Structure 1
Amino acid sequence: MDRRAFGEQPSRPDGSVIGHGTEYTGRYVVLFDPSSQESGINALRSAADIASVERVRGTDVGNVAELLERPDVSVLFEDLAAAVVEVRPEQRHALVTTAEAEPSITAAEPERMVHALPITAPQQAPTEFFPAFRSDEDVVARHTKAEMAAGLGPAWSEDSWTWGLQAIRANLSHLTGRGVKIAVLDTGVDTDHPDFAGRIEAAESFVPGETVEDGNGHGTHCIGTAAGPANPRQGPRYGVAPEAQILAAKVLSNAGSGQDGFILAGIAWAVARGARVISMSLGGQVRPGELFPQTYEILAKRALERGTVIVAAAGNDSRRPPQIEPVSRPANCPSILAVAALDKAIAPAFFSNGAINGQGGEVNIAAPGWQVHSAAPGGGYQPLSGTSMATPHVAGVLALLAQANPHVSAADLMAGLKAGAFPLTQPLRDVGAGLLQAP
């Protein structure tokens, strides 16, 4: 068995967690063999004295957010044979040892923090909530001036369509995403935004103590790019799949932070609700040479088997030139589509991460991610930049492909997306298959 699938958190004698800039929560994400998950649970009960297990089935999420907050409860998502496990500090070693030896347990990794991935606007002060993805204000300002000096911005008229929709040829597509469900796992959604009226099939918060309403703006913006309307209340069209059904899962707080357990809950909910696409503009920074997380990789494979493609942002840690950082987690998983960001010159955005690491760490496709216009809480609009903004472009195009090919597998949808990309001259490391194209 691949020992990369198991990991023990470094800790001090008092049980507090340490690490090289990595934010651990003290819990574990554990995946079981779907045919024998009861055996795995029982093994953990016996060896690691895990907390009481609450079971979640299908779309019956009930009070999952509150359960995930309780230190006396572990939560098992039966449909995906995955659990968020509470374990006392002195029992962590026993959990890892048991996971390595028990054949019914396929992976066990420490739960980590994840963050939204925008690029902070030049005039905005950095905040404590985005330590891994905060932009350098001088670099942002310099690239903005260079872009304007080159005349790249005015080359795209956005009177009717955003530059991003024109770049991916969504303005030439007759497809709308009708009948296809897109799940966006993010900071929630402005449920009262007039552009989303009648479009949100379901919305759920997996963040303890917070409703699904978006107090950040990141989630509303991403949902707008993926599935905004054909005729918005104001301004150009900005949504790729204007008739897709929206599933909004709040897995990041209004401060822009979340945990692997929240993401797991959102994935389970979205798959159970029949999402063809899950869009995740979130992640955590990885080091050069770091391997992809086995838990997310196995979850992505199980989602694919159920007909769902997961796309995720490649991350915004680079400062080109010359610094290029590796694709973030979980986008660095082989079975998750990693999306890089392009600027208005159809070149890699200066912040966009690249294929520095090995298997799974590649960029799969590139999409518009600079000064992207989309919806904002309060019924308005705003431009944002980042691989976060590129990712929902891809989710929307996958919905168009799914509408055109309703019976193909999720794996075939992924293959079709990459095959349809427009090749670019930049290295595969930076743009993968090339520029995203709508069918």
Structure 2
Amino acid sequence: MSQPTGAETTGRYLVLMDDNSTAAGARELNRVAGINAASTADSATSEELAAADGVIFQDLGIAVVDAVPEQVSLLARAAEAPGPIAVVEPERVVRAYAVTAEQAAAAVDESVFTWGLQAVGANLSTATGKGVRVAVLDTGFTPAHGDYAGRTVLTNSFVAGESVDDAHGHGTHCVGSACGPRKPSLGGPGYGVAHEADIYAGKVLSNAGTGTDGGILAGIAWAVANNCAVISMSLGAAVRPGTPYSQIFEQAAERALARGTLIIAASGNESARPGVVAPVGHPANCPSILSVGAIDVHRAIAEFSCGTVDTVGQVDLVGPGVDVHSSWNKDPWHRRLRGTSMATPHVAGVAALISQKYNARGWELWARLMQSGRRLGLPSTDVGAGLVQAP
């Protein structure tokens, strides 16, 4: 069984099933370990899901289950033998990647557009993201925000006992950078990269800013089922150097890409540069998830931005991630934050612009996004292909 070295876990488990073997995998869960899991393919009610031992995300071929040690041992044995159960992993705890930053961005006129929009060239692009579905999986969204009046925002909560309404703020901020307005109703500079994209806000982190692998997988399955071209995830868990990436999240990303959905995730904020460079965190360290680092207004790598330190995870692109102005969940309705969390929705927004312009999805969208990177004169271990650029 794969172990997430150094990660905080929940006591539940993720189970990966072989391609096209979800039904057989459900039967095997019951046969091997006596686990009765409800499937999203069966349109189970919330009561049925609560009564089951776990849930199977049909589109991903992944289950999240409650299991005692004896059952875990039986499942691990089944994963080592031929059959529909491929991998078993402990479920991790994940967190939002951002902190407050009140100072204004220096040396850039932000009277019309934020420095972030200018840095990625979104203010000069003719693309708007119109017709492209972008899912932001985070702490939810504040529907009462005046800047989004008239916008349709489709929402869903995957956090038990909490509505999608964002009592934290992080999710509303990330939605803003990815898909917010260019002419905010409540004043201030335009801050949304793909300002006409269709917004799908999935709550996978609680109002305290924490969540689990299972919640994220539920959000990914929802976004894939809704034909979203892009998923933005400003969240993760720290890992130690050399920790293997999650085989289950890698398969989820591969299966999403095969359905035309690109997952973009924050690399993490655990570095303390110049002395300490921490490895790319989970799940951004998966090869099929596009990992995003952060730069500041001077195009320097942010001191907190995680980097490529071994052969497991790498930074693919960077985006604006310091002193980023965007929407907030309460009055005064806008705030500046810093983190790879802020860089990630900028990249997701550019992905939506590229998807609209070239009708690109999946691996083609990944390739075009990587080709957009502007060289910064910094090590590729820190910035990957460079600063993402709008088409």
User: Is TM-score (shorter-chain normalized) higher than 0.5?
Assistant: yes
Name which of 28, 37, 45 aligns with 2:30: 45
* 1:412 match: 364
* 2:385 match: 433
* 1:104 match: 84
CA deviation map 1:388-437 (0-9, x unaligned)? 0000000000000010112x341011111111111111100000000110
Distance, in Å, in 1 between the alignment partners of 2:73 and 2:41 is 29
Distance, in Å, in 1 between the alignment partners of 2:196 and 2:101 is 31
Distance, in Å, in 2 between the alignment partners of 1:294 and 1:221 is 30
CA RMSD of aligned residues (A): 1.9
8 Å contact kept, 1:26–1:89: no
Task: Flag the 1:26–1:102 CA change in 2: closer, same or farther, 3 A.
Answer: farther
Larger relative contact order, structure 1 or 2 (CA cutoff 8 Å, min sep 6)? 2
Report whether the alignment pairs 1:7 with 2:5: no
Q: Which residues in structure 2 correspond to 1:107-118 (within 5 Å)?
A: 107-118=87-98
8 Å contact kept, 2:54–2:63: yes
SS at match of 1:411: helix
Deviates more, 1:261-270 or 1:28-37: 28-37
* 1:126 match: none
Seq. identity, %: 50
Report whether the alignment pairs 1:356 with 2:309: yes
Report whether the alignment pairs 1:206 with 2:158: yes
Distance, in Å, in 2 between the alignment partners of 1:290 and 1:198 is 45
* 2:216 match: 263
* 1:55 match: 39
CA offset at residue 121 of structure 1? 4.9
8 Å contact kept, 2:100–2:336: no
Q: Which residues in structure 2 correspond to 1:285-434 (within 5 Å)?
A: 285-359=238-312, 361-378=313-330, 380-406=333-359, 408-434=360-386
Deviates more, 1:255-264 or 1:376-385: 376-385
SS at match of 1:79: coil
SS at match of 2:350: helix
* 1:24 match: 9
8 Å contact kept, 2:76–2:87: no
* 1:283 match: 236
8 Å contact kept, 2:292–2:317: yes
Question: Which residue type is aligned with residue 63 of structure 1?
Answer: S
Unaligned runs of 5+ in 2: none
SS at match of 2:14: strand
Task: Flag the 1:366–1:277 CA change in 2: closer, same or farther, 3 A.
Answer: same
Distance, in Å, in 1 between the alignment partners of 2:126 and 2:45 is 39
Name which of 9, 20, 35 aligns with 2:20: 35
Question: Which residue type is aligned with residue 60 of structure 2?
Answer: L
CA offset at residue 154 of structure 1? 3.4
Task: Flag the 1:166–1:8 CA change in 2: closer, same or farther, 3 A.
Answer: closer
CA deviation map 1:335-388 (0-9, x unaligned)? 0110000011101000000001214x1100011000100000126100000000
Question: Which residue type is aligned with residue 2 of structure 2?
Answer: G
Distance, in Å, in 2 between the alignment partners of 1:72 and 1:275 is 28
Question: Which residue type is aligned with residue 84 of structure 1?
Answer: V
8 Å contact kept, 2:113–2:123: yes
CA deviation map 1:95-145 (0-9, x unaligned)? 1111221432232211111111113559xxxxxxxxxxxxxxxxxxxxx8x
SS at match of 1:57: helix
CA offset at residue 57 of structure 1? 2.8
CA deviation map 1:201-250 (0-9, x unaligned)? 41000000000000100000000000001211110000001100000000
Question: Which residue type is aligned with residue 400 of structure 1?
Answer: L
Distance, in Å, in 1 between the alignment partners of 2:256 and 2:85 is 18
8 Å contact kept, 1:43–1:102: no
* 2:55 match: 75
Question: Which residue type is aligned with residue 38 of structure 1?
Answer: A
SS at match of 2:29: helix
TM-score, length of structure 2 as denominator length: 0.95
8 Å contact kept, 1:276–1:308: yes
SS at match of 1:396: helix
Task: Flag the 1:257–1:309 CA change in 2: closer, same or farther, 3 A.
Answer: same
8 Å contact kept, 1:119–1:316: no
SS at match of 2:356: helix
Distance, in Å, in 1 between the alignment partners of 2:31 and 2:266 is 39
Distance, in Å, in 2 between the alignment partners of 1:332 and 1:71 is 34
Question: Which residue type is aligned with residue 258 of structure 1?
Answer: G
Question: Which residue type is aligned with residue 295 of structure 1?
Answer: I
Distance, in Å, in 2 between the alignment partners of 1:61 and 1:283 is 28
Distance, in Å, in 2 between the alignment partners of 1:41 and 1:57 is 12
Deviates more, 1:420-429 or 1:246-255: 420-429
Distance, in Å, in 2 between the alignment partners of 1:120 and 1:290 is 29
Equivalenced residue count is 389
Report whether the alignment pairs 1:229 with 2:181: yes
CA offset at residue 28 of structure 1? 1.1
TM-score, length of structure 1 as denominator length: 0.85
Name which of 107, 112, 132 aligns with 1:180: 132
Question: Which residue type is aligned with residue 46 of structure 2?
Answer: N
SS at match of 2:292: strand
SS at match of 1:412: helix
Unaligned runs of 5+ in 1: 1-5, 10-18, 123-143
CA offset at residue 82 of structure 1? 1.3
Distance, in Å, in 2 between the alignment partners of 1:100 and 1:307 is 31
